[in-house]
Amino acid sequence: MASSVADRAIGAIIGAAVADAAAQPMHWIYNPDRLNEVLSDLEPCPEFRPLSANPFYRRTTGEQTCYGDQAYVLLESLSQCGDVDVKDLTKRFYEFFGPGTVYDLPVNDPYRNKGGPKAILPIDGPWRNASLKAFLRNVDAGKEEPGCDVDCQIDGITKLAPVVAMFAGRPDMLEKVESAVRVTQNNDMCVAVTLAAARFLEHFVLKGPDPNALDAVVAQLNDPNRKNPQDLDRAVIAHIGQVKENLAKASHQLIPAVFTNT
């Protein structure tokens, strides 16, 4: 039986949360040899590793990364406000990730002197990433737009499921996504790639599985009358083209071929 749009929207939210929790024990393992070692003990089921192998922080298996927790806060705000309420979202992010929370650990201090003693890793507890630290500092400083303007990590994409699920098919969906993203990441590249991801997710929510999804989103981005156009859309189209060129490669082949450590 074909799932309905509502089923797929709910599935997007639940699927994102489950995937985040499943990957959390192996989050941020950048060393390929170490990753292969960890995976060799878990084949064929690496999800929900009972003991964390994360080299930076350790949480109980089943808990979220800082990305999944952001999606939870966004979902909570949407459910309470019925809309993307920037003021409410700012307050909830600060209260969830700010002073006195489980994220409030010495190594996560937004004002920590990077020239001080080196942190002993992994820490016991969750990790505040760069955009969250900048967001907290900006809120403390009373900035009207507290989002970090230099960080363009994956936060926007990982937390967009609740917004897309709520507004899929509506003409203001992308506008809502951008408003939510800029609360913590006021960075144009982050917004452009997140809006592209939102287009993909909306496509699947509305239409279900589609092998032509890449082409459909590229067509949207090429449309001069598209909703919420961004100056960096052409760059995003080029990156999607690069994805298409490398679809046949497995991740262990793709990463060393296309990406290099800096």
| Tokens 């507890």 found at | 125
Q: At what angle are helices 188-207 and 233-245 packed, to 10 degrees?
A: 60
Question: Are the CB atoms for 190 and 181 separated by under 8 Å?
Answer: yes
Model pLDDT for residues 223-257, shown as the tens digit of each residue: 999 999 999 999 999 999 999 999 898 887 888 87
* pLDDT above 70 as % of the chain: 98
Residue range 5-28, pLDDT digits in tens: 999 999 999 999 999 999 999 999
Q: What is the mean pLDDT of residues 103-126?
A: 90
Place of tokens 């999804």: 213
In the chain, what are the domain boundaries? Answer: 5-258
Phi/psi at 195 (5° precision): -65, -35
Measured CA to CA, the distance from residue 249 to residue 252 in angstroms comes to: 8
Q: What pLDDT, in 10s, does the model give residues 24-47?
A: 999 999 888 898 899 888 777 889
Give the pLDDT band of residue 262 (cuts 50, 70, 90): very low
Give me the count of residues in the chain: 262
Mean pLDDT of 141-165: 96
pLDDT at 261: 54
CATH class of the domain defined by 5-258: mainly alpha
Q: What is the pTM of this model?
A: 0.93
The larger pLDDT score, comparing residue 255 to residue 174, is at 174
The pLDDT score that the predictor gives to residue 2 is: 53
> Which runs of consecutive H residues, i.e. helices, occur in the chain?
5-23, 32-40, 66-81, 86-97, 130-140, 155-158, 161-167, 173-182, 188-207, 213-222, 233-245, 251-258
